[in-house]
Amino acid sequence: MKRIIFSIYTNKVDEHTSVTDYKREQFILYKHLLEQRHKQYAMCCNADYELFSVDETNYDEIQFYKLLKAEELTQQYDEVLYLDFDVVPISSYSFFEKFNLDKICVYSILVKLSNKVVEWRNQDQTWHTMDMYSKCCVKNSMLLLNDVVGKMECFNTGVYGVNKRSAEQLNFSGNIDYCHKVFQEAKLDNIYPEVMNKVWRPNNEVYSSFLVELNGIEINNIGMPWNFILDHVHKTPSGASYLIHCVNKDFSILTLEQPL
């Protein structure tokens, strides 16, 4: 079984809500340790490892690239696992031994509009394009244009596993232009107020979630333990998790220097 784990890194990304000065600095500071941790985990999984650099500077296009690259790599490898560069393995337990990659392996997050989120948004009267609830609304608007009632779920593609079979089912490269088209239609024809839909942007997580629900593709929902997200809500890593997704880039709270 030929396997690869890969990630993407560039320090030249255009201004974006997910690319603050602090986050840029943290990546530069911890780049070597993050790469070494990924390589260690790949060894534990009997997989090759590759850290790809990109010339693209648009954040959204870089996010599309990771799914396209995963699909491309299935032509060379039996199993492919993508990790965002801010995903930190904290266990040697092999992702490949846990999940069958005949189905797309990704964390599909159940989202809801809680009072806390409403209060948070009302503080600055702004909905952010990267908000998971907002992404789910985009995806469901795209599905409604195809007469499909969507789930209140949306993918986080920070951890994303495929093989040739599952990548071909999704066919992200062949469907991306169609997704762009439906997205533009949904921006103009949706049930959500302008304060929300005006910030919608093309997004890999929206598109991949949309294609899965539109075409009834089965997935393996890897759940929180395999993509435990550290952000403004969860600030402390869980000892019951295997991969920590450090969205807030506070890498100092993780023991990157210690081997797996």
- pLDDT at 115 (0 to 100): 47
- pLDDT at 121 (0 to 100): 53
- pLDDT at 144 (0 to 100): 98
Which among 224, 108, 226, 212 has a CA at the least distance from the CA of 167? Answer: 212
| Residue 253 dihedral angles phi and psi, to the nearest 5° | -85, -5
Please count the residues of the chain.
260
- pLDDT at 25 (0 to 100): 95
Beta strands 48-53 and 3-9: pairing type?
Answer: parallel
Cα→Cα distances 186→19, 31, 116, 143, 171, Å = 26, 38, 27, 9, 21
- pLDDT < 50 stretches in the chain: 115-116, 120
What are the extents of the domains in the chain?
3-253
- pLDDT at 161 (0 to 100): 98
Q: Which residues of 213-222 are buried (b: 16+ CB within 10 A; e: fewer)?
A: bbeeeebbbb
- pLDDT at 114 (0 to 100): 56
- pLDDT at 53 (0 to 100): 94
- pLDDT at 139 (0 to 100): 97
- pLDDT at 138 (0 to 100): 96
CATH code, 3-253: 3.90.550
Contacts of 114 (CB under 8 A, 6+ apart): none
Structural contact between residues 202 and 128, judged by C-beta atoms closer than 8 angstroms = no
pTM: 0.94
- pLDDT at 196 (0 to 100): 84
